[in-house]
């Protein structure tokens, strides 16, 4: 039977402790990230209460934006974003506003202000259907999609909803093809002139075709 030395035993204990420290750091990062993601809610709630009763008037400010900038030194656009995102959640996802919302959810399933604001803006797009907005909500609150992926999803949905004009599509493809040919001929012409491997007449014909294509592009 192999004998475990004192050194080996000490090393094993050290590895276990290191593993525990690493796991605690991982758990701490997840916890802090959750807190960070929802930390804006309390400020949004407070601004909502101030705006509802126009309390800033009693403090000598004409508008909420004046109050946030002059007294809080807080960017007015961000203040409006927080306020409107908070209002959106009241209507669309009130559970998010509960203090215990993030406690029993994976960190990746807790959206930040960026995703909430994205949903708010998406809801206001006339071309989107209610079912489209519901789909985006599921991707945020159930799948944990972040803003970058959501933007691609929204672009795809908008493209599907946008009516297609066949004539406009043909014109678009035509111009794309012409631009491709122009680039190719320009490169060919430059290479042939510098290499002098083809007759001058062929270069001249390429130049004439290039000019015709450029003229076609302008019509």
Q: Are residues 136 and 72 in the same domain?
A: no
- The reply to whether 83 and 132 lie within a common domain is no
What integer is the mean pLDDT of 37-57?
Answer: 94
Residues 131 and 191 in one domain: no
Q: Is the pLDDT of residue 153 over 80?
A: yes
Residues 103, 41, single domain; the answer is: yes
pLDDT greater at residue 200 or residue 180? 180
Of 13-17, 104-108, 187-191, 210-214, minimum mean pLDDT range: 13-17
Model confidence at 4, pLDDT cuts 50, 70, 90, reads low
Residue 171: inside a domain: yes
CA 91 to chain centre: 22
With beta carbons less than 8 A apart as the criterion, state whether 154 and 135 touch.
Answer: no
Whether 12 is in a domain gets the answer no
Does one domain contain both 102 and 135?
A: no
Residue 41 lies in a domain: yes
Q: Which residues of 25-58 are buried (b: 16+ CB within 10 A; e: fewer)?
A: eeeeeeeeebeebbebbebbbebeebbeeeebee
- pLDDT confidence band for 160 (50 / 70 / 90): confident
Query: Are 32 and 102 in the same domain?
Result: yes
Residues 22 and 101 grouped into a single domain: yes
In a domain, 6, yes or no: no
Closest CA to 40 of 51, 50, 48: 48
pLDDT (average), residues 109-122 = 93
Q: How far is residue 179's CA from residue 186's CA, in Å, rounded to a whole number?
A: 11
Q: Are residues 99 and 39 in the same domain?
A: yes
Query: Where do the H-state alpha helices sit in the chain?
Result: 6-38, 40-52, 64-70, 76-92, 113-123, 130-141, 147-161, 166-195, 200-218
- What domain range is 42 assigned to? 18-108
Asked if residue 9 belongs to a domain, the reply is no
- Contact at 8 Å (CB) between 44 and 85? yes
Structural domain contains residue 3: no
77 and 61 within one domain = yes
Residues 26 and 86 in one domain: yes
Please report whether residue 1 resides in a domain.
Answer: no
Q: How confident is the model at residue 74 (pLDDT cuts 50, 70, 90)?
A: very high
The most distant pair of C-alpha atoms in the chain lies apart, rounded to whole Å, by 91
* Least confident among 35-49, 168-182, 189-203: 189-203
Question: 38 and 97, same structural domain?
Answer: yes
Domain count for the chain, please give it.
3
Q: Is residue 208 part of a domain?
A: yes
Domain-terminating residue out of 121, 140, 163: 163
Could you say which of 74, 92, 108 is where a domain stops?
A: 108
Same domain, residue pair 159 and 190: no
Which of residues 70, 90, 108 is at a domain's end?
108
Whether the pLDDT of residue 165 is over 70: the answer is: no
What is residue 6's predicted lDDT score, i.e. its pLDDT? 67
Supply the pLDDT for residue 7: 65
């Amino acid at each position: 039977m192999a004998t475990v030395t004192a050194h080996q035993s000490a090393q094993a204990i050290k590895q276990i402790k290191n593993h525990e420290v690493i796991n605690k750091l991982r758990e701490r990062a997840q916890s802090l990230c959750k807190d960070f993601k929802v930390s804006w809610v309390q400020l949004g709630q407070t601004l909502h209460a101030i705006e509802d009763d126009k309390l800033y008037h009693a403090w000598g400010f004409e508008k909420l934006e004046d109050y946030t900038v002059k007294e809080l030194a807080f960017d007015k656009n961000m203040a409006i974003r927080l306020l409107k995102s908070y209002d959106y959640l009241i209507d669309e996802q009130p559970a998010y506003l509960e203090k215990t919302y993030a406690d029993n959810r994976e960190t990746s399933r807790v959206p930040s202000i960026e995703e909430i604001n994205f949903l708010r803006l998406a809801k206001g797009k006339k071309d989107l259907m209610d079912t489209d907005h519901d789909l985006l909500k599921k991707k945020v609150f159930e799948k944990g999609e972040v803003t970058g992926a959501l933007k691609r999803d929204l672009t795809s949905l908008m493209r599907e909803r946008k009516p297609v004009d066949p004539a406009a599509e043909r014109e678009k493809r035509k111009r794309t093809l012409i631009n491709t040919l122009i680039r190719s001929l320009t490169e060919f012409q430059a290479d042939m002139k510098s290499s002098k491997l083809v007759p001058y007449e062929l270069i001249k014909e390429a130049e004439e075709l290039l000019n015709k294509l450029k003229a076609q592009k302008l019509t």
